[in-house]
Amino acid sequence: MSAKLTILGCHSATPRTSAHPTAQLLEIQNRYFLIDCGEGTQVQLRKYKIKFSKIKHIFISHLHGDHVFGLIGLISTFRLLNRETELHVYGPKGIKEFIVNQLKLSQSFGKYPIEFHELSSTESELIYEDSKVTVHTIPLKHRVYTNGFLFKEKIGERNLNISIINKYPEIEVCDYQNLKNGKDFTLKNGAVISNTELTTAPKKPKSYAFCSDTVYNEAIVSIIKNVDLLYHEATFLEDKIDLAKTTKHSTAKQAAQIAKLGRVNKLVIGHYSSRYSDIERFKEEAFPVFPNTELALEGKTFEI
């Protein structure tokens, strides 16, 4: 089962015709998680042919407009499309009032239920779990209360080695689940066949960490350690490191340093300030610190 990240928008707040604010879609274990929802996200979802009905969980990092102003439009469109499936929205305390107040004033409540999961902890916490996937918060340091999100597959079942299993007529289909769960098999004669002989290890679970917006903060390294893919904001280059500090954003180099400290497999950077016309410079700055860095680009897909 592959996991895949699609960039719907990757620029900071200033509006431009060719630069959408933050929104991403993570497909993992057949779940479709929308991460942040800047203005125009619903149109970006249409553009990249992502079915609205597949989205059941939306994660909002913080309440700055370039990460959330598209949410009310998407929620309203779900209503127009006669959605009935429950929607879960995870975001900072206040997000419920933010949305419900608009629905009330525009008299636009839909028939489908919306469950808001309001976050206020400053420690990493488990906010979503099902049989295949967990989501934890990554507390970030920005001008307002902000979380990143760590998406992890659970360790799957072991894979049956059928050619070996078939050598043991005593092993029946009803025993397979125990084998998948890692149990050894005991023959009638008392001999024990090791599980590692009968199965192969499950694939390494995939993991994705989303970190936007934040000042350089090594405290997140222990949370994002060894992830397959890290998205870390890089609003500025080092030439504006003072501005990065005062606005609580990061530079491309700092994003690369976090990736290096976290020993992640791949880094994707984005949230570029509109002051930079050539975003290749972000990659050039990150590369010497962390070579496996790629630029977020609208419509680009990263296999995890």
**Interface contacts to a copy of itself, rule CB under 8 A:** 13-17, 39-40, 42-43, 46-47, 63-65, 68-70, 72-73, 76-77, 80-81, 94-95, 97-98, 101-102, 105-108, 143-144
Least Å distance between CB 239 and a copy of itself? 20
Smaller CB separation from a copy of itself, 17 or 194: 17
Output the CA–CA distances (angstroms, integers) from residue 200 to 1, 34, 39, 163, in the order listed: 16, 33, 46, 12
Smaller CB separation from a copy of itself, 182 or 299: 299
Q: Where are the beta strands (DSSP E) in the chain?
A: 4-9, 23-28, 31-37, 55-59, 87-92, 114-119, 126-129, 133-140, 146-153, 159-160, 185-186, 192-193, 199-200, 207-211, 229-233, 266-270, 293-295, 301-303
Least Å distance between CB 245 and a copy of itself? 19
- Please give the structure tokens belonging to residue 134: 């967990």
C-alpha dihedral sign at 123, 129, 134, 135: negative
Least Å distance between CB 53 and a copy of itself? 14
Output the CA–CA distances (angstroms, integers) from residue 235 to 11, 52, 264, in the order listed: 8, 29, 20
8-state DSSP, 190: S
Smaller CB separation from a copy of itself, 100 or 289: 100
Least Å distance between CB 238 and a copy of itself? 23
The answer to whether 66 is a known catalytic residue is yes
Least Å distance between CB 27 and a copy of itself? 21
Smaller CB separation from a copy of itself, 105 or 173: 105
Catalytic entry in 36, 66, 213, 228? 66
Q: Cβ-count burial of 218 within 10 angstroms (0-12 exposed, 13-18 middle, 19+ buried)?
A: exposed
**DSSP three-state, residue 267:** strand
Longest pairwise C-alpha distance within the chain: 75
8-state DSSP, 89: E
Smaller CB separation from a copy of itself, 29 or 77: 77
Residues serving a catalytic function are 66
